[in-house]
Structures are given as C-alpha cells and as structure tokens.
Amino acid sequence: MFNNIRIVLSHTTHPGNIGAAARAMKTMGLRHLYLINPRHFPDPQADAMAAGADDVLRGAVVCGSIDEALHGVAFTVAMTARLRDISIEVKTPRAAAPLLLQQAAQQQAALLFGTEMSGLTNEEMGKAQVLVNIPANPDFSSLNLAAAVQVMGYELNAAAQNYVPDVPEIRPATHEQMEGLFAHLEKTLLEIGFFTTQNPARMMQRLRRLYARARPEPEEVNILRGILSVTTEYNARLKSRYQEEHPDVRQH
C-alpha cells in the first residue's frame, strides 16, 4: 500500500535521528528512505537507533539535491513546524494522509522532512504541493525528527484503514516537469524585464505556490511552456525590430 511513498530527510544532522526515523518508518510499514546530504551516513549511531530496521537503512538512497530525491515524484507533502504566512495550503496530518495515500495509488509520492534545527528551507517547501503541520504546544513545538515521522506514519496507517480507491481525474505532472516549467518561467520573466521591480526569489515562491495549487497535468505544463517560448520569441522580435529602427540606441 505504501510502496509508492518515499520518506525524504533533508540535511539531517544527527545520524541517530536517521536510525530512529528508519525504525519509526518500519513500524508503520514504510520502507523507502531518501537522504539529502546527511551529515553522517552510514554511521554506527544510525544502526544503533534503527533497532532492527537496518534493512530500511541499507536500502536508503543518498542524494545530492532535493531535485534528485524527488525525481519521478508527482506529489510531495512537506512538514513544517511553523505556521508560516504563506499562500500554500497547510493541512493537519489527519487531513493530509488520505490525500497522500490517494495520490500514491497512481504515482510516486514523497513526504519531506527538514533539519532538526531549522526544518525545511523556503526553497524546499516551494517544491511541495501540500504543507503539513503537526499541532503542538505553542511554547514547545519542536518534535523530534523520528517522532514526526512516527506521527505521519501512524496517520498513513489510520488512513489506510479507511482507504477507498478512487481514480483521480487528473494525472499531474512530475517533479521534473514542474521544475522545468519553473526554470523556464524564471528565465522568461528575467528576459522580459519583469523582475526589475520585484524580488525574483520571492516572486518565484509565489508563482510556485500558485501552480502547486493548480497541479497542472503534463499537457498543461507543455501549454504553459509554449506560452513562455512564444513570449520570448515575441520579445526577441520586438527587440530586433527596435534595433533595426533605432540602430543608435544601446539596448539593455
């Protein structure tokens, strides 16, 4: 049931937490662990804390970047300890688990956890379709990494109890297709001079969130990229025409 779900831990500092997370995963029937630039791995402390989940550790995929870890993934849920002022949707574990299960029935899905100290970066969260916050004591909300994995695994199991297969109407684009779109979009906005009065990074975050909500299909990604291509072509035509007409004006 959880075969299409990968647990992705980004830049984990303490190898013991990787082991404890592997144990939490295995108790809940989760098997696929991806590690983005772990500080120490493999490590005896990870083995010790895995306490019988060493098969999960042995099968772990160590990645050099988040894009590598999310390769082939079409639905990503990112964990956040803070309720940020952002326009991407923040759900409870209970609300997110059935959604993740539904998506994972058809395609690869990921559950993304940040570092022990600072969680996920804004850039990393921008790659998710849904954010999840575990409700906690406002004065002491720092769950241990493995404890957060345990809670999410627990909710996935609870959701699996009530799971009813439902063929989704849309088949959303993969992570790579979306990243291709965002790269194309950013390049285009730069070329047309859109960023002159905007903070490019912040604007790209907002646009990522907008498209995360939209969940485009591959064909729609192609349409959007087609628009971008035409935009720059049109822009290039305008520029060259301008240069023809005003050969003495220096172009920016």
User: C-alpha angle with apex 210: 153 to 68, nearest 5 degrees?
Assistant: 55
With CA atoms as reference, report the closest residue to 17 among 137, 202, 143. 143
**For its own copies, which is the closer residue by CB, 65 or 92?**
92
Q: Tell whether residue 52 is a contact of its own copies (CB under 8 A).
A: yes
Q: Tell whether residue 23 is a contact of its own copies (CB under 8 A).
A: yes
**For its own copies, which is the closer residue by CB, 43 or 67?**
43
User: C-alpha angle with apex 201: 199 to 207, nearest 5 degrees?
Assistant: 100
Q: Tell whether residue 201 is a contact of its own copies (CB under 8 A).
A: no
Q: Which residues, including other chains, have CB under 8 Å from residue 193's CB and lie 6 or more apart?
A: 252
Closest distance to its own copies from the beta carbon of 162 (Å): 11
Closest distance to its own copies from the beta carbon of 69 (Å): 24
Q: Tell whether residue 32 is a contact of its own copies (CB under 8 A).
A: no
**How would DSSP label each residue in 44-75?**
HHHHHHHTT-HHHHHTPEEESSHHHHTTTEEE
User: Which residues, 86 to 115, sit near its own copies by CB under 8 A?
Assistant: 92-94
Closest distance to its own copies from the beta carbon of 10 (Å): 20
Quick check: helix, strand or coil at residue 85?
coil
User: Which residues, 54 to 93, sit near its own copies by CB under 8 A?
Assistant: 92-93
Distance CA 165, CA 40 (A): 40
Q: Which of 64, 85, 117, 137 touches its own copies (CB under 8 A)?
A: 137
Q: Tell whether residue 29 is a contact of its own copies (CB under 8 A).
A: yes
**How would DSSP label each residue in 110-150?**
EEEE-BTTTB--HHHHTT-SEEE-----TT-----HHHHHH
The residue range among 106-114, 156-164, 172-180, 194-202 that interacts with its own copies, by the rule CB under 8 A, is 156-164
Closest distance to its own copies from the beta carbon of 150 (Å): 4
Q: Tell whether residue 154 is a contact of its own copies (CB under 8 A).
A: yes
Q: Which residues, including other chains, have CB under 8 Å from residue 168's CB and lie 6 or more apart?
A: 102, 103, 106
Which residues here bind its own copies, judged by CB under 8 A?
20, 23-24, 26-29, 51-53, 92-94, 134-137, 140-144, 146-147, 150-151, 154, 157-158, 161
